[in-house]
Copies of this chain bind each other. A is one copy, B any other.
Amino acid sequence: MTYCLAIAVEDGLIFCSDSRTNAGPDRVSTYSKMHRFSVAYDRSLILLSAGNLATSQAVITQIQRDLEEDAKFNILKARYVADVADYVGEINVREQAKYTASSAPGAGPGFNATASFIIGGQIKGHSQELYLVYPEGNHITASEIYPYLQIGETKYGKPILDRIIRPDTPYETAMRCAVVSMDSTIRSNATVGPPLECLFYRNNSLKPHERYFNLPEHHPYLAKLRQSWDEGLRDAFDKLPGFNEVFADDE
């Protein structure tokens, strides 16, 4: 499994991803799931991937090949980020079909070749955009009220996003929220793990990114963050209104 998320605030776009892949407990490995395609002052595009690793690698390879071979359409020729989302969706469907279509030689029940993607960024002359591309190839953008998207193991890290993330959340708070959402998932689910990557693209900058970091498993910052967050949560519990007013009875 995997956990990736992206947040669209007025300040810009935040992307965050784990790096663990597993195909059973004895096939655990580490791969980056954050792929960057940028040309300074023209376009900045970030792609996050989750799901079947063979499928997501095949999709990334095709995107890169289309760039190298200057294909009729590639990421650098797209006019809108939505066009890139369509393109990623088409490649995704095609790659999955190679192994799951009824005519595929390796097709069998129980095999899951699906992959999902988040694509976001900005192309010169247009607003920043953010999309989630489904295994079926179609895509959605983030909600205006809760402006974030997730792929992979999404549930553990969702409550903190629902409580904190709004369109006007400052980018540093949104980055912290993304890292805490990721850390919560890493702690609660063994199939999601560090290194943890986080990137901030500032709206209208058209720079590849403004902030980026990569935290490996034993990075002292992760330990400090966990301790600080645990203490902060305990303080928040201590400040919660007491239950006395709601107790129905003391037997």
Binding site for B on A (CB under 8 A): 155-160, 162-164, 172-173, 175-177, 180, 184-185, 187-189, 207-215, 219, 221, 224-225, 228-237, 239-241, 243, 245-251
Q: Quick one: given A214-B248, A232-B236, A239-B228, are A159 and B187 in contact (CB under 8 Å)? A: yes
A250 to B201 alpha-carbon distance, docked (Å): 11
Question: Which single residue of chain B is at the shortest CB-CB distance from A207?
Answer: B251
A121 to B249 alpha-carbon distance, docked (Å): 19
Q: Quick one: given A156-B158, A249-B212, A251-B208, are A237 and B187 in contact (CB under 8 Å)? A: no
* B-side contacts of A229, CB under 8 Å: 163, 236, 240
Does A251 contact B210, Cβ atoms closer than 8 Å?
yes
A-B contact pairs, 7 of them (CB 8 A): A155-B155, A155-B156, A155-B188, A163-B229, A212-B248, A213-B246, A229-B240
Does A232 contact B221, Cβ atoms closer than 8 Å?
no
- Distance in Å from the Cβ of A236 to the closest Cβ of chain B? 3
* B-side contacts of A241, CB under 8 Å: 221, 224-225, 228
Does B245 contact A221, Cβ atoms closer than 8 Å?
yes
Q: Quick one: given A228-B240, A241-B225, are A247 and B163 in contact (CB under 8 Å)? A: no
